[in-house]
Chain A
C-alpha cells in the first residue's frame, strides 16, 4: 500500500491510498475508456453521498448513494456479464451504488436504481450493470414537501 495524489473534480488534489482504487474493466456506460475509480467520502466514513472519482480523468466524477438508504429492500441479481467483469467468486462481498442526477433544482435529484454500480469489495473490481429487476431509472431521493 502506498499513498498517491490524484486530481479530483470537486476537491482539487486528494491523497489516496492505492488500495482504494477500484478497477472497472468495462468503465461505466458512456465512459467505457475510464477503468479506474476511487470512492471518496467527504461527509465522513461510510456516509453517503460519496463521490466516485475517476483516477485518470479529474473531470469525470459521479455523486453516488447507497440504494438501500432510499429503498431498504433493494436487491438485484448479478448478471453473468457482471460476474465476469467483477471476477466474482462465491463469498465475495458485493455492494451497490446508485448514480445521482442533480438538476438545477436540487430537490428534484434522482438516483438510477435500474443501473447500479456493483462493487466487488473482495477483488476491488466494479461494473455498472443493468438490473433485470424492475427498478426505476429515475428514483426521486428528496420527498416533495407538502406545502
Chain B
C-alpha cells in the first residue's frame, strides 16, 4: 500500500481524473473531499464490505440442529472456563 503524509488542504491525484483533498483533521477523524467523474462509484469501505458480507450471508445455510450443537458447545466451554 502506498502511504503518503498530507496536511489540511493538501491532497493527491489518482490517474487523470480523481482528486482527493484533506479538508479537516480532527482528533480521531479526517474529513476528505473527493472529486471524480460521475461514473466512478464512491462508497465508504464499511458499506462496500457490508454489501459483500450480506451477499455471502444470504447463501449461508445452517441446519438448526448443527447451530444448536455449536451453541451448546460454546456454552459448555464458557462454563468450563468459569469453573
Contacts and interface: CB of A to CB of B under 8 A. Distances in A.
Interface stretch (B1-9, B16-24, B56-64): B56-64
A130 B67 contact: no
Interface in A8-32: 9-10, 28-31
> Chain A's interface: helix, strand, loop or mixed, by majority?
loop
Contact of B54 (A28, A43, A102): A28
A63 interface: yes
A62 B57 contact: yes
A99 B57 contact: yes
A29 B54 contact: yes
A30 B70 contact: no
Nearest to A99: B57
Interface residues of B, number: 25
Contacts of A99: 53-54, 57
B46 A30 contact: no
Contacts of A114: 46, 49-50
A31 B55 CA distance: 8
B35 interface: no
A112 B58 CA distance: 13
A94 interface: no
B50 A9 contact: no
B42 interface: no
Given A43-B67, A137-B49, 16 more contacts: A10-B61, A29-B50, A29-B51, A29-B54, A49-B67, A62-B58, A63-B67, A99-B53, A100-B60, A102-B61, A102-B62, A109-B70, A128-B50, A142-B73, A142-B74, A145-B77
Interface of B: 44, 46-47, 49-58, 60-62, 64, 66-68, 70-71, 73-74, 77
10 contacts: A43-B68, A60-B58, A62-B54, A63-B57, A63-B62, A100-B60, A102-B62, A115-B47, A130-B44, A142-B73
